[in-house]
Amino acid sequence: MKARITVYPRPEVLDPQGKAVHQALSRVGFEPVSAVRVGKSFDIELDVRTKPQAMKLLEEMCQKLLANRVMEVYEIEILGKAKAGKSGQ
Amino acid sequence: MKARITVYPRPEVLDPQGKAVHQALSRVGFEPVSAVRVGKSFDIELDVRTKPQAMKLLEEMCQKLLANRVMEVYEIEILGKAKAGKSGQ
């Protein structure tokens, strides 16, 4: 089973990396951008049978290792066969 | 309009950060994990009206700034009101 965990700084926490990317985008000419936040993404391959088992494990991983819950929030997504959205090759 | 861009190293490119996270997870006792890859995630707020306009801009951002297309692949997702999956607070 494949899952994706996304970790972002909490909305109330300053995100200097996001600010830098925002400024860089403006400099290159992307004016319609009004805000950018930068986070981490983990694609995890799990050898478990059921979705609830996977969710339990992934939740534990976030709390123990992948996210700092004081500063960050996380999202867990179980990935299907094909991911929605456009993919650039 | 809100969008998310996810940038990962190409599957054929070594991902030492992913390997380190995989080893750390194994050490903490998460044996069912068989592979981890680590990428970057950008949440971008855009002042444009239509989805095609947004997609065009986001595609350009990836190619000009956010992704290194020799080493990385990217995915673009227009985010709806609520994101699917579980969110940890």
CA distances for A87 relative to A13, A32, B38, angstroms: 30, 22, 17
Digit-coded pLDDT (tens) for A23-76: 999 999 999 999 999 999 999 999 999 999 999 999 999 999 999 999 999 999
Q: Where are the domains of chain B?
A: 2-78
For domain A2-78, which CATH number applies: 3.40.50.2020, 3.40.720.10, 3.20.20.370, 3.30.1280.10? Answer: 3.30.1280.10
Digit-coded pLDDT (tens) for B32-82: 999 999 999 999 999 998 999 999 999 999 999 999 999 999 999 999 644
| ipTM field | 0.87
Q: Is A1's Cβ below 8 Å from some Cβ in B?
A: no
Best of A22, A37, A41 to substitute, by most chain B Cβ atoms within 10 angstroms, is A41
